[in-house]
Chains A and B, each alone.
Chain A
């Protein structure tokens, strides 16, 4: 039998039972579409996280006080508590060759008042380098002035939303805010850049690091952001930072340096595992579709007993009958997969239009996986009905009973 004839015979018998065929097709399509859309969701999440990290600035290193803080281990048993990071630590890092910029960071929540309005606000103390290191943009005015980081100047830069909430349509530049018990003059407003990893930059007030330390009554830093010169400098920068701080802290290694790449890789691993798991769960719907195909083919074989008997009477060998039934289920799952791809493409296109900030990914591997799994389950599950058809006794089958 020629392949083209096999296909057209299979197509003919599928068209002979349109409802049954369509239902199986639909089940396959939904299975395939759910694999693609669900893995598109998790892959979309991966992309989202990646973009968030990149929006933090590239070639970034974060210096945290204490060893292995990110691992959540207990504080060291021996020796003193870790020495805090100081502003001079940060300034010492600016002189390192692989380092382009350094932004010390102090963070705290304090009440901010303007006119009759008072709000609890996240105040970030840093230097002029904070703007380029964090990839921020100004909407109005100036950012923190460069110069001596130890000088506690009473100036501040507002996040876009904070500006709206405190000033409404009014002019913010040049006005004085009361921050706790001190007064700060607004010299600039940040452009609205949305959220970055949970920290809402639109809601903060940036002041010089020395001013913030006075506000929070501390000498230490929350962390130090270090921008390496380029991708190749990240590792040398990490080593140089560790060396410098060990020297400055009397030989103790009491800081942790996290590179952006390492963080990204950690998140990426978790999300990759998640997206494979989700694809696996979605693949269960394909197995369900496979079982459905098997049932449909079993019913189809039972209803066509006489026809199969006739095929044998006019000379069909067992293998030809087997091939015919398998061709039918392969066409069902193949067409179902095609329909599922179309469905998934439609859903993803729609979602991208509705939620452009969080686009679903259209993953080639998911498409391949879903299509392959659909064909495989469709054919594997119809081996049983196909074998049953092939083994029918022609005389009994012609009489209409198997």
Chain B
């Protein structure tokens, strides 16, 4: 359960204050699938960073599963990121010198899981992603869609409750984008993961059950929608 209460995030640029988030109230229940849309600079990424504990609100309250995250220390926030939250970025952010398998293994190494368990999970994830025969490939040997699928594998391997995706299809062509979205949606449907997708693409945003529109750091519309009929 994600609960934001009058959250503000103010950046100081020179002498000016930029209100990237300006009084955001938002509650997302477990297992929801929501799309965040809005023009460039409206605060979508900032919202995602705050929800993902990569950034702290300047003011307001953020409770994750009932815990007030604003009082947590750095190590506790890192632990929550590791165990509860998965990130998928537009630019993939895979480590170039590591193979697909090693990139997926990384969060488990940070969590200190034993090597055997890590190997078991990596194999399983790669198979689920349809990348089993690509496990030894480095990112520069993979297509954009394959890279994003590896990134999703990395986000999922710790079985987080929440998956945050910032324009996951932004760097992909239509077909690869559709594949990636299908994968994310399957995780939401089959594993009950909370899915929050930031996107510019109305076709992508139209597939979610809930649509949140932002403008100038505020939520200007928040309504359920029918979702993609193909789902």
Which residues of chain A come closer than 8 Å to B155, judged between CB atoms?
314
* B97 engages A314 (CB within 8 Å): no
Which residues of chain B come closer than 8 Å to A317, judged between CB atoms?
74-75, 78-79
Q: Which of B48-56, B124-132, B219-227 contacts A (4 or more CB under 8 A)?
A: B48-56
Q: How far is the CB of A205 from chain B (nearest CB, A)?
A: 77
Which residues of chain B come closer than 8 Å to A312, judged between CB atoms?
54, 78, 81
Q: Which of A10-18, A100-108, A253-261 contacts B (4 or more CB under 8 A)?
A: A10-18
Number of A-B contacts (CB under 8 A): 66
Q: How far is the CA of A153 from the CA of B186 in the complex (A)?
A: 117
* A319 engages B75 (CB within 8 Å): yes
The answer to the question of B145 belonging to the interface, with a C-beta cut-off of 8 Å to chain A, is no
* B110 engages A311 (CB within 8 Å): yes
* A1 engages B97 (CB within 8 Å): no
The answer to the question of A315 belonging to the interface, with a C-beta cut-off of 8 Å to chain B, is yes
Q: How far is the CA of A9 from the CA of B107 in the complex (A)?
A: 12
Chain A 328-368: CB-based contact to B (< 8 A → 1; otherwise 0): 00000000000000000000000000000000000000000
Given contacts A317-B79, A319-B75, contact A310 B107 (CB under 8 A): no
B54's nearest neighbour on chain A, judged by CB, is A394
B75's nearest neighbour on chain A, judged by CB, is A317
Chain B 186-217: CB-based contact to A (< 8 A → 1; otherwise 0): 00000000000000000000000000000000
Give the most central of A306, A312, A314, A395: most B CB within 10 Å: A314
The answer to the question of A313 belonging to the interface, with a C-beta cut-off of 8 Å to chain B, is yes
Q: Which of A2, A311, A314, A318 contacts B75 (CB 8 A)?
A: A318
Which residues of chain B come closer than 8 Å to A309, judged between CB atoms?
93
* A398 engages B89 (CB within 8 Å): yes
* B107 engages A314 (CB within 8 Å): yes
* A5 engages B109 (CB within 8 Å): yes
Given contacts A319-B75, A320-B110, A395-B54, contact A313 B95 (CB under 8 A): no
* B98 engages A12 (CB within 8 Å): yes
Q: How far is the CA of A5 from the CA of B75 in the complex (A)?
A: 19
Q: How far is the CA of A15 from the CA of B102 in the complex (A)?
A: 15
Q: How far is the CB of B184 from chain A (nearest CB, A)?
A: 17
Q: How far is the CA of A12 from the CA of B95 in the complex (A)?
A: 11
Give the most central of A2, A16, A313, A317: most B CB within 10 Å: A313
Q: How far is the CB of B41 from chain A (nearest CB, A)?
A: 14
**Those of A276-325 within 8 Å (CB) of chain B:** 306-307, 309-320
Q: Which of B55, B74, B81, B112 contacts A314 (CB 8 A)?
A: B81
Listed by A's residue number, 26 A-B pairs whose Cβ atoms lie within 8 Å are A1-B110, A1-B112, A5-B112, A12-B97, A13-B97, A16-B97, A312-B81, A313-B87, A314-B82, A314-B87, A314-B106, A314-B107, A314-B110, A314-B154, A315-B110, A315-B111, A315-B158, A316-B78, A316-B82, A317-B74, A317-B79, A318-B78, A394-B54, A395-B49, A395-B55, A398-B93
- A-contacting residues of B (Cβ < 8 Å)? 49, 52, 54-55, 74-75, 78-79, 81-83, 87, 89, 93, 95, 97-98, 106-107, 109-112, 154-155, 158
